[in-house]
Chain A
Amino acid sequence: MAMNYNAKDEVDGGPACAPGGTAKNRRPDNTAFKQQRLPAWQPILTAGTVLPTFFIIGLIFIPIGIGIFVTSNNIREIEGNVFMYYGLSNFYQNHRRYVKSRDDSQLNGDSSALLNPSKECEPYRRNEDKPIAPCGAIANSMFNDTLELFLVGNGSYLTSIPLKKKGIAWWTDKNVKFRNPPGGEIPLEERFKGTTKPVNWVKPVYMLDSDQDNNGFINEDFIVWMRTAALPTFRKLYRLIERKSDLHPTLPAGQYYLNITYNYPVHSFDGRKRMILSTISWMGGKNPFLGIAYITIGSISFLLGVVLLVINHKYRNSSNTADITI
């Protein structure tokens, strides 16, 4: 600030710098804060002071790691509810332009957005002068293979495993974020009137499912797809296999038959499809990484602690003399 001439100084006896001015006689307060004497903890990082930290990290992490590892490996047993996933690899759902290509207002059932989707959806915004519902590249590229699971019973007798379609999406997504266009009892087809299906889709959005609670925008397969995956290799929850009784395992051992209705091309981008059946534990699906990582870090930490202990023991003498000589 080039001009800080304080005119008041002229009258008050000069700026604070004038000797003998009234301003000068203000002695600074002798408070701990102003004199920078606040009580403080002053840790000094040396081998001696830091080694407990390493040991503590080791002692905490190793048990955690073992716990996680065990839990993760226990997932193998197909007991309890079984989750059926489809997996895609090399599918860049996190691509910047792809991630943007949606209209949340439309998905939320906003009537105006339904007929006039956001520009972000381009070029999947309109088709043949009709607004696309749901618009955007994400919706357009929705996974549309169907998977059916059969238990091969005695004598090639196939028992269809009941796959639950609902309950696979986040509750908030299903109930808050995604809504069909308003209309109460009016059939869904009417409510989506004036829109057209995404280019790649075989059927319009209001025909995704026969169940009205799982149709249109609130179709859970759709909702799950719309939650764009973080990494190019991902899985998405497809169905739930509920445990029927405590007596029988959900999926008893045996031969299973998977029927895939192949609609979704992945060859173009060198992608692969997978189907995963898994139970989940308190910490989610099977992933040995965390357990191993915890054990590794814990062990390293513990080892370093030992190293530091040695160093501390060796150099304690010299550091003791330090306080005299410095």
Chain B
Amino acid sequence: MERDTAAAEEPAVPGRRLRRREGRTRTVRSNLQPPPGAEDPAAKGARHLADNRLKTTKYTALSFLPKNLFEQFHRLANVYFVFIALLNFVPAVNAFQPGLALAPVLFILAVTAFKDLWEDYSRHRSDHEINHLGCLVFSREEKRYVTRFWKEIRVGDFVRLRCNEIIPADILLLSSSDPDGLCHIETANLDGETNLKRRQVVRGFSELVSEFNPLTFTSVIECERPNNDLTRFRGCIKHEDGEKVGLHKENMLLRGCTVRNTEAVVGIVIYAGHETKALLNNSGPRYKRSRLERQMNCDVLWCVLLLVCMSLFSAVGHGLWVQRYQEKKALFDVPEPDGSSLSPVTAAVYSFLTMIIVLQVLIPISLYVSIEIVKMCQVYFINQDAELCDEETGSRLQCRALNITEDLGQIQYVFSDKTGTLTENKMVFRKCTVSGIEYEHDANAQRLARYQEGDSEEEDTVPRGGSLPQRGSTGSHQSARGLHRAPGTTSHRRSGSRAEARRASMLSKHTAFSSPMEKDITPDPKLLEKVNECDRCLAMARCQEHPLAHLSPELADVFDFFIALTICNTVVVTSPNQPRQKVRVRFELKSPVKTIEDFLRRFSPSRLTSGCSSLGNLATTKATHKSGSSSLSALSSECSLLRVEDQLGGPAPVITSNGYSSGAAGWAPDPKPELRYEAESPDEAALVYAARAYNCALAGRLPDQVAVELPHLGRLTFELLHTLGFDSIRKRMSVVIRHPLTDEINVYTKGADSVVMDLLLPCASDDARGRHQKKIRSKTQHYLDMYAVQGLRTLCIAKRVLSQEEYACWLQRHLEAESSVDNREELLFQSAIRLETNLHLLGATGIEDRLQDGVPETIAKLRQAGLQIWVLTGDKQETAINIAYACKLLDHDEEIITLNAESQEACAALLDQCLHYVQSRGPHSVPEKTTGYISVGFSPLCPPSEPATSGPCLSLVIDGRSLAYALEKNLEDKFLFLAKQCRSVLCCRSTPLQKSVVVKLVRSKLKAMTLAIGDGANDVSMIQVADVGVGISGQEGMQAVMASDFALPRFRYLEKLLIVHGHWCYSRLANMVLYFFYKNTMFVGLLFWFQFYCGFSASAMIDQWYLIFFNLLFSSLPQLVTGVLDKDVPADVLLTKPQLYRSGQNMEEYRPRTFWVNMADAAFQSLVCFFIPYLAYYNSDTDLFTWGTPITTIALLTFLLHLGIETKTWTWLNWMACGFSVLLFFSVAFIYNASCATCYPPSNPYWTMHTLMGDPVFYLTCLLAPVAALLPRLLFRALQGSLFPTPLQRGRQLAKRSPKKLSAPKETQGPHVGEARTDPSEPRSVSASRPHSQDYTSQASWRRQQPACSREASGEPSVVDVSVPLREAPGSSAAPERYPGDSRTKPSRPAPLASIFSLPGFGSLRWVSSLSLVSGLGSVLHFSRSSLQVDKQDGEFLPRRPRPDRDLCGLTAASKQKQATDYF
């Protein structure tokens, strides 16, 4: 590398960090070594390298003032206000005392500055705390590790970390107390993932015999410049002898992580302080501007225009006035100081500027401050909502973005991820197929059903090893150990109840993906029998030449299948005995094959064929190895790699016969230790637990070996040669192992069926075996499709046997790829692809990802609220569609348009067809058209369910490839148009990038407010693009949360967040902003009218103090209280009537029209408030400010009364605030007017207020004017409330009139509270008196997909015989749910539904018929009233699947026949 020379010349000073900032690399050397070129002092000062001191403060004592001011003046408003204040210093135009005019600006600036200072100080304090944490650093002088502060750590230092210590900087791991050179870390602080991650000592250092001595470290590390990519680290270490070793992220310990399970590690600091990845990743909260704020800014501009107009008008007026009186030498026309008289033009210009100062209140300085305060309070209240707090995990909603709360009330499109967002991301093994035979796992299904039952039901308890976690949340392991209950002594009640599961999962939250539900899998008896048979056979034949050959192909597949399930993953095994302590089974010291020599060492030369002779040459030179040298000869024996442990329970025998030293000390003495699996993804955990249920338990994992525990065979240790990790492009992962029984090199691959099926070994169709294989494949494919239909996640398991030659060839290129620094990812990818071909299919699994609680209800509510919900998922189409049905995103009476296009042209054609269809459908021509084929490949079979009102809802399903085409520039408009017509859109197989493109498209083209919700790293881009990003703090780490504006524990909380808090925030802020504009316009109006009576001289009758502090002090508090606390509609009404949310979507509270009406009202009120005092004091001896003070008082009272009219809820705080305002005004006026007899020119208000208080006219005007000013508004509100009430007003009235009705169902409304749910398996009584419970029944059964539904429906045929409208049918799910309080009255009053509540698309019929259960009921009865055969009905229920091979991918809009109309 060309960087070598440059690095060698690196000058440095002993004990100082070394580094060079050349190009893309950084070079790190030990600080303990005398650096090369130390004599070059010139460069030493120039190079600055971040030390480990944390400094998150922005300011220093000196820089605070200038820097803070500079930052504050970034806000345009501040500049404006300061400009106006400074204008006051010009004598010719000043309106107020210059100092006074500056006061509010300074006040605002000071408050902000103080806030910043305080924040900075708290940052400083925490920085200080962090900086003074201690850690062991190797000292050059003392030749040992000494305790230093974190801040003293420099790049190039050697740091020794003990267990549970937090890593102070980004450190390259050089030594570990672990014999394998491993170190486990917990990255929760970094990404929130709680599973342990394994880190490895740099290759070459793990083999050191003695303890690592930093003094002897002479190598040079070359690595990338500091960057924020947590998932990547590239570099190499160069030893003195010129040898280079690549470095990976597995060698790095990142700052902020915690060392676990490892006694001590030593590493060299690579990046420190602000250059660490943790800190580079930390960017503060984002500043987003909400839609309302954008609109407000636009109106602020209108106000500016208004201000300029008023000032101009006034200026012209003044010019004319001056012209008129100047020539007459009027007594009151004051000439210039020099005696000359002002020319009219100059006077006009001066007047203009002065008017701008006087009328500056129009753009109030307090507006922005108030809005920020209100938003802060809103965030506070959202954070405090106990109902948004998840009891299971104790986590609650967090607002990460502080200034877009009101956007939550205006969302139109919701883009949701599926896995982990709609579903629990708790993967449960449901079904599998091996070798073409399906295993139903009925018992398992029953077990799962029990988890959905109510809490009350308790199952027989089965004593069981405590699965409770024993690790304290942040405490040390030592203390946790003491608390541990020995397994077996205490029994954990195994109960199927949900509460138990929840409790357990709460306790075990530190072990990801291991609730009892996921762990306890009931095996299928048939399959279990087969597994046992395999096991027995193999146990008998294990020392023979080819043990597997004794098995039938099917059994061999079964065996391989489970081995693959067990080892083809990255699951780390821990034991609860020693919390988070790795279960250690040590037979040899060996790492995965990483070098050619290693490979040669392990595979005896005799086996190496001439095909790889070049490798052989290499091997001879490097035959010696520190630890493994003794084993070379032994390796050649056939059984040498078969490391078998005898029967369970026995103490681990030390196997010495083959020359391996056995470090079996770690063996748990417990015969059946409770092992815990820590997986990176829940799928992996589910599969491992499933395999364990079949007695094929993963017992331990080391970098180079995996131990599997089998009942008869005992412990099998597989030599793990390579792990090719999962990536989303390959969609699969593989492990390369050496099979201990056959000594073959096997590749086990696990991946998405669409990928794996294509990689299978082409089977010859001429011989029997090939035909058999083909059959197996087609069967497996069939089952895979079936699983997908049932909403299961499918994975294919495949295997490949590699010959030594193949492996050697592949290995060589793989190693090349691994050691390359540039382009390594790409090369490794290619390498993986080379390996994963010609696979042999073993079987497939179906994993259920259960829906989260309340998802269907939430989706239904959100949809009622007028939100369009799009689900963007990476899952396959069938799975996605079924989940969509399960969560009621799709309904069975909907037409589904499926877009699967193979090419751009096909996509365009399909889009055109769809558009044509959608348009031709129209709103009126519904029923007839849909009976036949509209176009090729398009088969809307069902007659639309509801007559007249509107056609059946459309849903669009599109797969990733078609999406890519549809998102092309020329098609995106069509696609969007089509999507707009659809009630829901489902994008399957979409990549993270596509997700964000879709969101961006909708956002920019439809000008819609978008919300993206997701839980995983793949949703981050989408979350960032959307107007509002919501992260689910679920199981998959915190990346989504980190990128989000709001973080929710569960999807269902979205309902309250949007419908209640979003609505409130929007309505509060909208009303407050409107009120602000009103207030300022009205106030300025008073001054403007006065100009007509003072020669447009920009004189003000309102004392300057009042003028300046009016907004800031007197009238600010009530509106803040209202802005924070006002609830236009109570929460329960909002939740029961989600359609009220539409007011926010349509911007009903604050739209241009409202703004101008508001301004007109302000103008009217100011006229009234000006002219009533004017007429009352006309031709009186009152003076300017004695007249102005009543006007101010009137204005204040009018404002408060106006606010009173607009306030919907009056709490004591509102009363207090209003009272306080009035009191404050009068007391300030009293004190101010009595304070100084000669001050405050020109008004000199001495004793004015006191005099006024003795004047009855003052009181009389103060009573008359506000009433007169507000009569129209009050009248308007009253008339509107009576004649044309908005939905919101109706909601309010409803809440008022029937508070009990609403509160009663709320308690039983389980979905929100997540409580009681009735038992679906219990025989249901057909009675209308139980609408609620039936509601939940149906919901619960829907979670279990169609079979449950049909069972339920067909078990109750009597329902449809009733000839009442379906709405009243007890089975109808949503009617009682939506009208919990009105279910009794409904039958007698069916009519007003649609007529009163006349929102678009809100017809009562559509409402009712869109209920999936109703329609499901109808169709089931239509097809087979008595049929209980589930499978067949599934087929009828579901849209036609595209063929597996996808050659027919076309537009298939399939719906099912439906006869619901018969019942209307």
B116: which A residues are within 8 A, CB to CB?
1
B387: which A residues are within 8 A, CB to CB?
35
When each residue 5-42 of chain A gets 1 if its CB lies under 8 Å from chain B and 0 otherwise, what string results? Answer: 11111111110111111101101111000111011111
B333: which A residues are within 8 A, CB to CB?
92, 95, 98
What's the interface size class on B, roughly?
A: 35 or more
Q: Are B1178 and A319 in contact (CB under 8 A)?
A: no
- 7 shortest interchain CB distances as A-B pairs: A122-B337, A230-B1187, A50-B1278, A8-B126, A46-B1281, A269-B330, A325-B1392
Contact of A192 with B by CB under 8 A: no
Question: CA A21 – CA B564 in complex, angstroms?
Answer: 35
Contact of B79 with A by CB under 8 A: no
Q: List 23 A-B contacts (CB under 8 A).
A: A5-B282, A6-B123, A10-B166, A24-B395, A36-B385, A45-B1205, A87-B1179, A92-B333, A92-B1097, A98-B332, A104-B1238, A105-B1238, A122-B337, A176-B1247, A200-B331, A229-B1182, A232-B1095, A234-B1179, A235-B1179, A269-B330, A323-B1293, A323-B1298, A326-B1294
Q: Are A35 and B126 in contact (CB under 8 A)?
A: no
Q: Are A287 and B1282 in contact (CB under 8 A)?
A: no
Interface residues of B in 257-287 (CB under 8 A from A): 278-279, 282-285
When each residue 1091-1127 of chain B gets 1 if its CB lies under 8 Å from chain A and 0 otherwise, what string results? Answer: 0011101110100000000000000000000000101
CB distance from B327 to the nearest CB of A (A): 9
Known contacts A6-B123, A95-B1094, A232-B1093, A17 near B1238 by CB under 8 Å: no
**Which of these, A16, A27, A39, A50, contacts B386 with CB under 8 Å?**
A27
When each residue 311-341 of chain B gets 1 if its CB lies under 8 Å from chain A and 0 otherwise, what string results? Answer: 0000000000000010011111111111100
**Which of these, A43, A68, A289, contacts B1178 with CB under 8 Å?**
A289
Contact of B892 with A by CB under 8 A: no
Q: Are A19 and B1238 in contact (CB under 8 A)?
A: no
Q: Are A170 and B1251 in contact (CB under 8 A)?
A: yes
Question: CA A108 – CA B1033 in complex, angstroms?
Answer: 71
B384: which A residues are within 8 A, CB to CB?
28-29, 34-35
Q: Are B1101 and A230 in contact (CB under 8 A)?
A: yes
Contact of A163 with B by CB under 8 A: no
CB distance from B1423 to the nearest CB of A (A): 36
What's the interface size class on A, roughly?
A: 35 or more
Question: CA A41 – CA B1396 in complex, angstroms?
Answer: 27
Question: CA A230 – CA B1248 in complex, angstroms?
Answer: 13
A103: which B residues are within 8 A, CB to CB?
1241
Question: CA A317 – CA B384 in complex, angstroms?
Answer: 41
Contact of A261 with B by CB under 8 A: no
Q: Are B1290 and A68 in contact (CB under 8 A)?
A: no
CB distance from B1348 to the nearest CB of A (A): 32
A3: which B residues are within 8 A, CB to CB?
56, 58, 123, 284
Q: Are A101 and B386 in contact (CB under 8 A)?
A: no
Question: CA A193 – CA B838 in complex, angstroms?
Answer: 119
Interface residues of A in 263-300 (CB under 8 A from B): 265, 268-270, 282-285, 287, 289-290, 293-294, 297, 300
Q: Are A231 and B1247 in contact (CB under 8 A)?
A: no
A293: which B residues are within 8 A, CB to CB?
1172, 1175-1176, 1264, 1268
Question: CA A294 – CA B1176 in complex, angstroms?
Answer: 11
- Taking CB as reference atom, which chain A residue is nearest B1404? A325
Contact of B65 with A by CB under 8 A: no
Known contacts A44-B1296, A46-B1278, A230-B1177, A28 near B386 by CB under 8 Å: yes
Contact of A240 with B by CB under 8 A: no
Q: Are B1282 and A47 in contact (CB under 8 A)?
A: yes
Contact of B905 with A by CB under 8 A: no
Binds A, one of B738-746, B1255-1263, B1353-1361: B1255-1263
CB distance from A86 to the nearest CB of B (A): 10
Contact of A202 with B by CB under 8 A: no
Known contacts A13-B473, A17-B1038, A17-B1047, A300 near B1271 by CB under 8 Å: yes
Contact of A51 with B by CB under 8 A: yes
Known contacts A308-B1278, A326-B1294, A234 near B1180 by CB under 8 Å: yes
Q: Are A4 and B1396 in contact (CB under 8 A)?
A: no
Residue of B95, B127, B189 with highest tally of chain A CB at under 10 A: B189
Q: Please give the residue numbers on chain A whose beta carbons come within 8 Å of chain B beta carbons, in ascending order.
A: 1-14, 16-22, 24-25, 27-30, 34-36, 38-51, 53-54, 57, 61, 64, 68, 85, 87, 91-105, 107-108, 110, 118-120, 122-125, 137, 140-141, 170, 172-173, 176-177, 200, 224, 227-237, 265, 268-270, 282-285, 287, 289-290, 293-294, 297, 300-301, 304, 308, 311-312, 315, 319, 321-326
Contact of B1042 with A by CB under 8 A: yes
- Beyond contacts A22-B473, A137-B331, A233-B1179: 6 other A-B pairs, Cβ-Cβ < 8 A, are A1-B284, A17-B1041, A35-B385, A40-B1211, A177-B1238, A287-B1178
Contact of B1212 with A by CB under 8 A: yes
CB distance from A114 to the nearest CB of B (A): 13
Known contacts A19-B509, A34-B381, A290-B1260, A322 near B1293 by CB under 8 Å: yes
Interface residues of B in 1111-1145 (CB under 8 A from A): 1125, 1127, 1130-1131, 1137
B1295: which A residues are within 8 A, CB to CB?
42
Question: CA A326 – CA B1378 in complex, angstroms?
Answer: 11
CB distance from A36 to the nearest CB of B (A): 6
B1289: which A residues are within 8 A, CB to CB?
44
Give the tally of cross-chain contacts (CB within 8 A).
403
Question: CA A173 – CA B1104 in complex, angstroms?
Answer: 21
- Taking CB as reference atom, which chain B residue is nearest A175? B1237
Contact of B1367 with A by CB under 8 A: no
CB distance from A203 to the nearest CB of B (A): 18
Q: Are B1246 and A176 in contact (CB under 8 A)?
A: yes
A294: which B residues are within 8 A, CB to CB?
1260, 1264
Contact of B111 with A by CB under 8 A: no
Contact of B1304 with A by CB under 8 A: no
- Taking CB as reference atom, which chain B residue is nearest A39? B1211
Interface residues of B in 938-969 (CB under 8 A from A): none
CB distance from B129 to the nearest CB of A (A): 6
A140: which B residues are within 8 A, CB to CB?
331
Q: Are B1279 and A47 in contact (CB under 8 A)?
A: yes
Q: Are A11 and B1271 in contact (CB under 8 A)?
A: no
Q: Are B1095 and A231 in contact (CB under 8 A)?
A: no
Known contacts A45-B1278, A325-B1389, A326-B1294, A24 near B332 by CB under 8 Å: no
Q: Are B1093 and A94 in contact (CB under 8 A)?
A: yes
Known contacts A13-B474, A137-B334, A300-B1271, A42 near B1209 by CB under 8 Å: yes
CB distance from B878 to the nearest CB of A (A): 32
Q: Are B329 and A268 in contact (CB under 8 A)?
A: yes
CB distance from B1353 to the nearest CB of A (A): 30
Q: Are B1246 and A40 in contact (CB under 8 A)?
A: no
**Which of these, B192, B1094, B1127, B1292, contacts A17 with CB under 8 Å?**
B192
B1294: which A residues are within 8 A, CB to CB?
322-323, 326
Known contacts A6-B56, A20-B194, A42 near B1296 by CB under 8 Å: yes
CB distance from B731 to the nearest CB of A (A): 28
CB distance from A159 to the nearest CB of B (A): 27
A2: which B residues are within 8 A, CB to CB?
283-284
Question: CA A290 – CA B1187 in complex, angstroms?
Answer: 15
Residue of B1177, B1238, B1257 with highest tally of chain A CB at under 10 A: B1238
Q: Are B1264 and A319 in contact (CB under 8 A)?
A: no
Q: Are A38 and B1282 in contact (CB under 8 A)?
A: no
- Taking CB as reference atom, which chain A residue is nearest B1277? A45
B1298: which A residues are within 8 A, CB to CB?
323
Q: Are A27 and B337 in contact (CB under 8 A)?
A: no
Residue of B194, B1181, B1397 with highest tally of chain A CB at under 10 A: B1181
CB distance from A294 to the nearest CB of B (A): 6
Question: CA A54 – CA B1271 in complex, angstroms?
Answer: 8
- Taking CB as reference atom, which chain A residue is nearest B1388? A324
A232: which B residues are within 8 A, CB to CB?
1093-1095
B1247: which A residues are within 8 A, CB to CB?
170, 172-173, 176
Question: CA A118 – CA B279 in complex, angstroms?
Answer: 60
Q: Are A141 and B189 in contact (CB under 8 A)?
A: no
Question: CA A101 – CA B1097 in complex, angstroms?
Answer: 14
